[in-house]
Structure 1
Amino acid sequence: MNKNASRTPLSEAQEDYLKQVLLLGSGSEGTGRLEDTHPVSTQSLADQMQVKPASVTGMLKKLAELGLVEYEAYRGVRLTRAGYRVALEVLRHHRLIEAYLHQALGYGWEEVHVEAEKLEHHISEAFEARIAEWLGHPAYDPHGDLIPSAALELPPAAPNRCLRALEEGTRGLVARVATQDQDALNLLAHLGLKPGASLLLLEQVQEGSRIQVGSQRYLLPASLAQVLWIQLEGEHHAHR
């Protein structure tokens, strides 16, 4: 990370924490304006990072000393403006790498997250720029998640809605798949439910959502239906 040359380089762990505070504190898209984020609890971070709460507390105190988060015991943590920019930069690297692995190297969309987690801390700004140019400066990664711009700004997102929240008879396009579980992604791909796919919601039942994709009908289990975010028919989704 070197967009802020005057800043002391951060460790991979510190960058990971900032990224997770952003993701956990944002809305359904997984990112949002700093003003729209909410405090994240120590326990939520511990669960996400798979570490003990005491370890989270120690890291948050260090990040607060660096001016990257605002942390108060029992009230959660929020990013400062500086911390928000670092988190967006890590996220930009991660999602550009996912897109590059998928489009240029033929990785499956279920494989790219793990690889990007390893590489996101190590690419240079020049390499980031080359990837973005080769990809045509995409606004979305393979899962439909927003990619922050080179200026560390988020492109506007269309108002997508969770499949489980839709009314029967609704038509729309899959806009985003909110899971990194490899088995779930494999199954969704097998069913043709990747970003850009058109579907019709036939019925909501306790077990899940009955949908039609092309000529095929499926009863999608609730656990899968709730990770599908749908752009309703007639609503414009820029740069998809």
Structure 2
Amino acid sequence: MHSFTEENYLKAIYKLEEQTGDNVINSDLAKALSIHSATVTDMLKKMSQKKLIIYEKSKGFKLTGKGKKIAVSIIRKHRLWEVFLVNNLGFGWDEVHDMAEQLEHIQSEDLINRLDTYLGFPKADPHGDPIPNINGEFEKSKAVPLSTLFAGKQGKVSAVTDHSTAFLSYLTKIGIALGDRVKVKSIEEYDNSYTLLLKNKKEIAVSSKFVDSILVIVI
């Protein structure tokens, strides 16, 4: 059994490895966890001794096979609990992240497998993130950031990468949900802001940060 802190580290490292495709450095992990670099270094040494990571001070670190397996298990639990909280308990997609952060540390694999079965083996969580199956395998997605679309192109919203309450609440307020079609009407050269055309023919002006945080399937 691993501590909550170790599990949080493993999950954060896994996500950073996904983003960079390379070794993770201390400062990036410290930023992701909102803690001091010195604290990160101490924990990484302990995790290296447990063979959860491969750590080299000059090159950074990466998960071992053992560490990756644990990280994927935590992600699986987190995303399944989010589905349950939204679909079965009526919470909004902007309310469930923090609750799932607590529930993801439940150790019973039997409980999680039964939860998966009860939910009908969902492929994605309420934010569109893929849920690994019982074997730790993710379904591949063809989604791309909305920011990669040129003016005149459109896509179907498949996921969001910003899970903050502020961002999700804003999406709900302006009427964007998973499955909606969004068209890039124009891109402002001066500040790279976007004008989007939504499903109800409503136009909205948004920042480049906004379109970076939305993943779409190009249609």
Task: Report the TM-score when normalising by structure 1.
Answer: 0.86
Q: 1:114 corresponds to which residue?
A: 98
Structure 2 residue identity aligned to 1:68: L
Q: 2:77 corresponds to which residue?
A: 93
Q: Deviations over 1:83-137 (max 9, x none)?
A: 1100000000001111110111011101111000111002522221222112211
Q: Choose which of 1, 4, 8 in structure 2 pairs with 1:16.
A: 8
Between 201-210 and 68-77, report the one with greater CA deviation: 201-210
Distance 1:56 1:71 in 2: 12
Structure 2 residue identity aligned to 1:183: A
Count of aligned positions: 216
Distance 2:118 2:193 in 1: 40
Q: Choose which of 44, 53, 58 in structure 2 pairs with 1:69.
A: 53
Structure 2 residue identity aligned to 1:104: N
Between 61-70 and 128-137, report the one with greater CA deviation: 128-137
2:18 partner SS: coil
Contact 2:157 2:216 survives alignment (8 Å)? yes
Contact 1:22 1:37 survives alignment (8 Å)? no
Contact 1:164 1:222 survives alignment (8 Å)? yes
Structure 1 residue identity aligned to 2:110: A
* Alignment pair present for 1:210 and 2:195: yes
1:153 partner SS: coil
More helix by share: 2
* Alignment pair present for 1:193 and 2:193: no
Contact 2:82 2:125 survives alignment (8 Å)? yes
Q: 2:118 corresponds to which residue?
A: 134
CA shift, 1:163, in A, is 1.4
* Alignment pair present for 1:124 and 2:116: no
CA shift, 1:222, in A, is 2.2
Of all paired residues, the percent bearing the same amino acid is 31
What 5-or-longer segments of structure 1 have no aligned partner?
1-8, 28-35, 234-240
Q: 2:215 corresponds to which residue?
A: 229
Distance 2:140 2:127 in 1: 17
Distance 1:65 1:71 in 2: 10
RMSD: 1.4
Q: 4+ residue runs of structure 1 moved beyond 2 angstroms?
A: none
Distance 1:62 1:107 in 2: 38
Between 128-137 and 98-107, report the one with greater CA deviation: 128-137
CA shift, 1:223, in A, is 2.3
CA shift, 1:207, in A, is 5.1
Q: 1:49 corresponds to which residue?
A: 33
What 5-or-longer segments of structure 2 have no aligned partner?
none
* Alignment pair present for 1:219 and 2:205: yes
Contact 1:68 1:83 survives alignment (8 Å)? yes
Contact 1:21 1:40 survives alignment (8 Å)? yes
1:95 partner SS: helix
Contact 2:146 2:155 survives alignment (8 Å)? no
1:137 partner SS: coil
Q: Choose which of 138, 159, 174 in structure 2 pairs with 1:176.
A: 159
Distance 1:118 1:84 in 2: 20
Contact 2:183 2:197 survives alignment (8 Å)? yes
2:9 partner SS: helix
Task: Report the TM-score when normalising by structure 2.
Answer: 0.94
